[in-house]
Amino acid sequence: MAKIESRNFKNPDEVRTFTKGKVELVKLGDATIGRATFEPAWRWSTCVKPLANTKSCEAAHLGYQVSGTMRIRMDDGTEVECKAGDVVRVPSGHDAWVVGNEPVVIVDFQGMPNYAKEAATQAARS
How confident is residue 126, by pLDDT bands cut at 50, 70 and 90?
Answer: very low
The pTM assigned to this predicted structure is 0.90
The CB-side HSE value for 28 (13 A sphere, CA atoms) comes to 13
**How do the domains of the chain map onto residue ranges?**
15-125
Q: Kindly state the percentage of the chain with pLDDT values over 70.
A: 94
∠ CA 73-116-68 to the nearest 5 degrees?
Answer: 50
- 15-125: what CATH class? mainly beta
Q: Residue 71: helix, strand or coil by DSSP?
A: strand
